Amino acid sequence: MSRALVGLFGILWLCWLLLASNVDAQVEYLKYKDPKQPVATRVKDLLDRMTLEEKIGQMVQIDRSVANAEVMKTNFIGSVLSGGGSEPLPKATAQDWINMINEFQKGSLASRLGIPMMYGIDAVHGHNNVYNATIFPHNVGLGCTRQVEISTPVCRDPELVQRIGAATALEVRATGIPYVFAPCIAVCRDPRWGRCYESYSEDHKIVQEMTEIITGLQGDVPADYKKGLPYVGDKTKVAACAKHFVGDGGTNRGVNEDNTLIDWHGLLGIHMPAYYDSILKGVSTVMVSYSSWNGIKMHANRDLVTGFLKNTLKFKGFVISDWQGIDKITAPPGSNYSYSVQASIEAGVDMVMVPFIFKEFIQDLTLLVKNKIIPMDRIDDAVERILFVKFTMGLFENPLADSSLVNELGSQENRNLAREAVRKSLVLLKNGKNGSAPLLPLPKKTSKILVAGTHADNLGYQCGGWTIKWQGFTGNTDTSGTTILSAIKSAVDPSTQIVFQGNPGSEYVSSNKFDYAIVVVGEPPYAETAGDSTALTLADPGPNIINTVCGTIKCVVIVISGRPIVIEPYVSSIDALVAAWLPGTEGQGVTDVLFGDYGFTGKLARTWFKSVDQLPMNVGDPHYDPLYPFDFGLTTESVKDLVEKSTSAAVGVRACIFSIMLTLIACLYLTDSSSVFCFFKKFIMFWRMAGLSTVSPVETILDRENFTLDELLDDDEIIQECKALNSRLINFLSGRPQVEQLIRYIVEEAPEDSEKKRTFKFPFLACEVFTCEVDTILKTLVEDEELMNLLFSFLDPTHSHSNLLAGYFSKVVICLLLRKTVPFMQYVQAHQEIMRKLVELIGITSIMEVLIRLIAPDEHMYVNHVDAMQWIEETDVLEMIVDKFSSSDSPEVHANAAETLCAITRFAPAGLSAKISSPSFVGRLFRHALEDSRPKSVLVNSLCVCISLLDPKRHTFGAYHTYNRQMTNGSTVAANPETVEGMLESLGDLLKLLDVSSAENLLLTTFGKLLPPLGKHRLKIIEFILVLVTVGSESAEKKLIDLGAVQRIIDLFFEYPYNNFLHHHVENIILSFLESKNSSLVEHLLRDCDFVGKIIQAEKHFTLEADAKKPTIPVEGKSPPRIGNIGHLTRISNKLGQLGNNNSVIQEHLQGNIDWTDWYADVLSKRNAVENVYEWACGRPTALHDRNRDSDDDDYQDRDYDVAALANNLSQAFRYGIFNNEDIEEVHGSLERDDEDVYFDDESAEVVISSLRLGDDHESGSLFTNSNWFAFEEDRDQVANEQSAASLPSPSPIAEEDEGANIANGDDDLVTGEGEDLADTAISLPEAEPKLEESGTDKPVEWVEWRESSDANGPSGVLANGELETGSGNNATNAHELSSPSSSAALTKDEQITAEPSASPSVALTKDEHIAAGPLASSSVALAKDEQSTAEPSASLTEKTIETSEPTHTGNENPSSCTSTSVDSVVGDHIKDTTVAKKEVENEQLM
């Protein structure tokens, strides 16, 4: 009995335990579904419950065509999308969409954890995939809107786009969709790009303003909401997506998905700012771009996606790929899908748009995680972000679509808003022909109006791409809306007859007595790559329609296009010209302004070019010569306003007019008719000047008697009137006396006592008059020999040649050359002394440009004017130019002579090409270069010409050809064998200059000294050898081996371990040898040069050795620093191993080398496990390696803020005695100094690196050392506990922030500077993250002061005036006051968010608080709201800081935007009340 009771009791006890545990489990299970819990708590709870399969499922987005309830449930799919044109059924209703989406959602909710999916769709100009939705103007038009009530005339209308965002969100929610792939915040820099219409502007400031659409889509972020967190307001709002990160609008030549070639500062200054604003506005997601940045696919760019977007900008939403975006990481797309998966996830992509092959993606990612190639932390980071957005959207509380909003789709209220947007976006480019009265606004009541053109009655053309279907549609049946023709019929008086003819004949037009015509032409619809165009022409028969109609009757031409297109050839025949962009479904917006119900207010947000040859051309470019400039746009008033104004004016002047008329009548009786006429003329002038007429000020001047040219030039509207072809003005300016005076303003210096307008304004406007390219003015000049003689008298030796006037002279001459080629060239041929004079003045860059245009014209010009230009081939101009290397000591002359000769190698006609590539010419060039008495700039620039002869597409200007412009390894170029042979004759003499053993000049550095410094001329020799290797000449290869060139270059590689330029050149030479099919080259490299042995030796002794026989000597008394070429050696070694699999010579050599085998297994393989070292450069991982720049790019001057620019900025540190070198004098101007004879060579990489080594602790890590990155070689145990750098998760949105902080001490390096991509050594992956303590005040950001510490004397002091002085003794500041390796901003307002340092500049986003970020290898970027950061100047490194603040609208604001954005040069200052702390942070508190 007792046993039974015990058993029964045990059973009851077990049941109770099970019941209790089930209850507890149920309570715990409901925790993440409890809306009362903080979002971070819910995310963490849910994430802890998820399996790997469930997590990976959340990272997948599939197309609706492969989705169903079962797929959603079994694969745990996180998101579904509709691609362009993907719909439930044709002309689906809102309810059809809701039914489909709810079906998918029910499958997701039926899964184990019931995680709802989020449905996404492109809504780029309204809900554009859906039938009957309101289609708003594309972004290109919205960028042209402006707020007319704001005093600053060019302010755009962000309030309008916010309302458009709210209306779009409402219509999207009406179909049950909670997520949109919008807005596109690209900055389109080239209209040839097929997606240019998705961009608001070429000016990032306008794009920044238009990010206000995010608050319309998602809702206004509450004032107390944490900055940077995703935010979605309620069930009428949607999650937005800022796209495409980053630089998609800056691709080379506007090719879609191509390479954006721009330096780091350009990327930050142009393409990145709108992302700062989007994050501040709480954008939920960011889509990565298909494009590359300097050769690195954005979908695989960890530095930018994780390092900058997530870690530095503190973006807490999730990052999504583009459609099949990860496939395109490889070429061809999808060829190595597993690698694409790995690279994209490691880069920081959280959700992957795999529309169809989602099972393959899930399988590959699962294997990568299970095999520990991708760490679980990276997966958790991605899923945390996705869940955080879903919880923020309210999907867990309201997963199913709400049918109550279905009537919002295409509502009349939204259509009225779209109509408003259309009329505000239209830009009036011309109104009136040849000074005649304005044509617009058009009268509604008239006899007969002709409407013509392919786009007048075509809703599909009117809407453009991304409408109903991906590429758009044609016709009027695919959705509902109002065409322009229908709108015209509705707008005019009922008695007015409207006649529509798509393409009328000239006889039809002339015989029907039309009062005027409205011509609507433009581009057909397109999207993405299909829209890429190199011609940018009107679609046929558009040009013919314009010529036929506008040549016969008055016409207004409306251009429907997604970008500026070629219109200049037709402008003269057009009376009024309107850019309507892609207005969408509401065509009434066009007629609202056409007929004067409203006035034109739009201003160009893009430059309208004259011809495609000018592209890319953006406002601010050096040679900005548009047809219609940025921010151009004529304005009109509505008919209503005009009537009111005239009525009001009439009341005020009625009595005055009455008395004047009485006086006029009296004059008829009392005076002669001539007096009456004079009086009447003055009366008309009074009428106009009193504002009672719309005549321009220029017309007012022309109405005066005895007006002068100076009076016209003093009026600011003269150029606009010229471009508008004002016939009275042009007739006056075309007169010979006026043309002569204009030329004198250009070529003659103003007297010293002249007014400023004579010195500056008149020459400028005189030049602009000519460059308006008015045919009659140019004709007057070019056909009058005396006037041409006066123009070219500027070149006379006795004449003053100021740079200002030289620039104006150059523009006028080039304009004549382009527009009046034949008579101009005939004049120059008859006065061939002009060529000699131009060569004599070649040191002036503007004159050089004239010379280049004359003797190296582009192919188009030469083909069309071959007879007029062929005589140049018979001159001795080449000899005159090359002899400037001998006759002048000016580096500017040498550089410009070389640039001219290089231009000839690219564009020269056959005769000049043969002459410049002949052995005799090459010999002449080398004779000048190798003269002992000549400056080294002669050698450098002569080699530039030789390099261009070998490879005309390679840019060689600047002190050296930077590594980011080099060709792909192993590529070959065709070179004239005779040219190569001519160069080989001087190769031996060049190699002698690589011998540094006898050089005695000394350069002191903080890591020691260089005896001698390498110098730019030696680097240029090595670059020349690199190009010589690539031409594939057997004789060149044999000569290089026989002379020991390769051996010497390799020796230099190891002798100068901190010269990054050298390392890149030598690495490419080595790789070219290794990949060569000529086995003798490989054997020479491996056996004769013992390159593998040198690698092993360098790896064993990885610190700088104290060897007096070597040129690089460490400083005495300090531990030697690590060498800086480890990264290059790593990449070369990996390439050796890879090539060894297929090359028997390499394989045999490596297998026979025991040291290599051991080192490969013990060191290299472990290094490879830490980071993807195939993408290393400069000794550390980087996203900036091997930029394959297109050498035909117009920007042939290297604009990277590279080591050279950094060195220039650091010169103050030397000037104020931080480093002592009394033997060297400072010389200003890099072109004016000999590269080895100045202390601070502005292009000496080793100086820059040494300059930034400010501390003694070489193990602390800094921007320019390899110290911590290779810590695993010394601290293997420590590194074993660290995560892989390639897959470090970014700070998660729910992680807890470490409360502790350790005070930094020791001589930590101050990392600051620019051009991290050209740094000669590595960036360390820091073990500890610097963090700034709260100061307790709201002080502005201050910067760490520049100081140098030394072993004996301590760091330098700071003088009262801010200058720096080497301190000693009691005056020295303690070493621990130096900052850790970052230059970061202090946080204010009780909280701070600190980012991990990574390889890009730090960015602080602030609005009453600062989000401070560690360095991404150089400059700091601060984005501020409500306040601006200020810094006290001191003698330190200049850093570029971008500040964006909300303006108080003043006259000092940037005229192109309502948002004030400034780029300041901030000098390093000291932080007074801030303590720099070092701590190890793995996560960061968000909530």
- Do you find a cis peptide bond into 441, omega within 30 degrees of 0? yes
Q: Which of 171, 257, 327, 528 is catalytic?
A: 528
* Dist. CA 1052–CA 1066, nearest whole Å: 9
* Dist. CA 833–CA 835, nearest whole Å: 5
* Dist. CA 665–CA 1226, nearest whole Å: 81
Residue 1438: its H or E element? strand 1438-1445
* Dist. CA 628–CA 608, nearest whole Å: 5
DSSP 664-688: HHHHHHHS-HHHHHHHHHHHHHHHI
Residue given tokens 């160009």 in the structure block: 604
- CB atoms closer than 10 angstroms to residue 657: 13
Q: Within its chain, how far is the Cα of 726 from the centroid? A: 38
* Dist. CA 1426–CA 1431, nearest whole Å: 17
Beta partners for residue 1438, in sequence order: 1467
CA-based angle 528:529:532, to the nearest 5? 105
* DSSP secondary structure code for residue 29 in this structure: H
Residue 1009, SS3 per DSSP: strand
Phi, psi (5° rounding) for residue 351? -120, 130
Say if residues 1268 and 1262 touch (Cβ distance below 8 Å): no
> Is 625 known to be catalytic?
no
Return the C-alpha torsion angle 1465, 1467, 1472, 1474, nearest 10. Answer: 60
The pairing of strands 1329-1332 and 1476-1479 is: antiparallel
List the one residue out of 75, 71, 80, 40 whose CA is nearest residue 54.
Answer: 75
* DSSP secondary structure code for residue 270 in this structure: I
Residue 32, SS3 per DSSP: helix
1247: left (phi over 0), alpha (psi -120 to 50) or beta: alpha
Instruction: Please write down the HEC assignment for all residues of 278-323.
Output: HHHCCCCEEEECCCEECCEEHHHCHHHHHHHHHHHCCCCCEEECCC
In a 10 Å sphere around its CB, with 0-12 CB exposed, 13-18 middle and 19+ buried, how is residue 887 labelled? exposed
Q: How far is CA 1123 from CA 399, 1100, 1120, 1126, 1253, in A?
A: 58, 11, 9, 7, 13
Say if residues 37 and 31 touch (Cβ distance below 8 Å): yes
DSSP 681-718: HHHHHHHIIIIIS---HHHHHHHSTT--HHHHHTSTTH
Q: In sequence order, what are the residues at sequence separation of 6 or more whose Cβ sits closer than 8 angstroms to the Cβ of residue 753?
A: none
Say if residues 1072 and 1085 touch (Cβ distance below 8 Å): no
Beta partners for residue 467, in sequence order: 469
Q: Which of 190, 322, 384, 1186 is catalytic?
A: 322
Q: Within its chain, how far is the Cα of 293 from the centroid? A: 9
Calculate helix-pair angle for 936-950, 1016-1030, nearest 10 degrees: 10
* Dist. CA 319–CA 385, nearest whole Å: 9
Phi, psi (5° rounding) for residue 1445? -135, 155
> Is 528 known to be catalytic?
yes
CA-based angle 927:928:934, to the nearest 5? 130
In a 10 Å sphere around its CB, with 0-12 CB exposed, 13-18 middle and 19+ buried, how is residue 557 labelled? buried
Q: Which two tokens stand for residue 934?
A: 């000549």
Active site residues: 322, 528
